[in-house]
Structure 1
């Protein structure tokens, strides 16, 4: 059975926060609002974990905007897709893992339309074997079922003679790489997977669980996985 390497999407494969800052500058500039408020918007965004509708309502209230919430959300979605990019170093890391015999997948929480558009625009759809997005899957990280579904779409889950999916052989040779501890690393832990946390210069925030490995960025994470034993 080939080993499986799963990746988070936002701020793991792609720099979602950089795209958000680009949208925020666009939002402020096109409405003649203070560019100094970039920090306010970025803080409120909370790395994408603050609901979009609530963020737009807060912006409308702060600036007294006479515009519909729907139009703001549409502009946000379109601009974010235009600004999303997958760095070449990340693409090269995926190709390196593929050349080493790994099956690759993406496990992402979020809107199917938005996340699918990101995957396609960046060319990631041609670099991985399959992906799962929480909205269409009806599972959300850290639910272990979403990782099992990703393995299934990659053609690996269900192989072997285990009685339950948690005992299946694929879990022993699967890694999850992500930047968000409660979703990616906790999810990997409860699914029985090894994990690499992308620290982005941050200290580890949790006490109850820990990643198998920590890396500064995605290329380093892939190198660490390729250097590790195939099974623990």
Structure 2
């Protein structure tokens, strides 16, 4: 069975926060409001986890606006979609994973219409095998059901142990990393310069950005394949430690002998496994 690599969408594959700030700056400028209030918007936004209607109502109240909330919401959705972008090095990282035989999927919490608009606008729909959005799926991360559905939509045989070679990459710990943990997958947390703050679960690996996350996964899977040939039959990747170089699976130790990480645009070789382990 081919290995599966699932990705979060916002602030993982695409720069959602940058698009939000672009909308907020336009909102302030068009109404001759203080540009310094951008901080108020970004604080209230909570990285996209505050309901959009709540955010818009708060802005209407703050500035005494008479504009209909529905019109402002529609302008928000349209503007953010127009401003969304997937960096070129992210697209190259996905292409690299495809050439290495990985099945790729997107699993995102959010509204179906808007999330799909982002996926299509950035061309991500042409690079992945399946997309799953919580609204249409009827379940949301970290619910294991949405990951199972995402795997099915990517063509995986979920009657078999599809999680054995499956990874989840994302920036939001409670949704992406906790979801991977309860679903039996390994995970990479994109930290965006943050420190890990959860105590009940941890990512397998941590990366600074998406290209590094993909490079780590490819290198780790290479090491996994090497280990299968090196250690006795019955050795468990997920439950046993690797003799001589790791204290447990995904602990971020050095890459094994003869296993070289893939070259990913924008990622220095010295920044790969051995320097970026789980926090």
TM range (shorter): over 0.9
Give 1:164's aligned residue: none
Aligned length: 224
The CA deviation at 1:37 is 0.2
Give 1:55's aligned residue: 55
Query: Is the contact made by 1:178 and 1:185 (CA closer than 8 Å) also made in structure 2?
Result: yes
The CA deviation at 1:159 is 4.2
Q: Distance in 2 between matches of 1:108 and 1:66?
A: 33
Q: Distance in 2 between matches of 1:40 and 1:189?
A: 34
Give 1:224's aligned residue: 216
Q: Which has the higher contact order (CA 8 A, sep 6+)?
A: 1
Task: Map Cα deviations across residues 149-201 of structure 1 (whole Å, 9 max, x no partner).
Answer: 011011113343xxxxxxxx111100000000000000000000000000000
* 5+ long unaligned stretches in structure 2: 226-236, 239-279
Matched, 1:93 2:93: yes
The CA deviation at 1:205 is 1.5
TM-score (norm 2): 0.79
Give 1:112's aligned residue: 112
Match of 2:169, SS?
strand
* 5+ long unaligned stretches in structure 1: 161-168
Task: Map Cα deviations across residues 112-151 of structure 1 (whole Å, 9 max, x no partner).
Answer: 0000000000000001010100000001000001000011
Query: Is the contact made by 1:5 and 1:103 (CA closer than 8 Å) also made in structure 2?
Result: yes
Q: Distance in 2 between matches of 1:79 and 1:216?
A: 27
Give 2:2's aligned residue: 2
Give 2:246's aligned residue: none
Match of 2:70, SS?
helix
Query: Is the contact made by 2:129 and 2:155 (CA closer than 8 Å) also made in structure 1?
Result: no
The CA deviation at 1:212 is 0.2
Give 2:258's aligned residue: none
Give 1:171's aligned residue: 163
Give 1:194's aligned residue: 186
Of Structure 1 and Structure 2, the greater helix share is in: 1
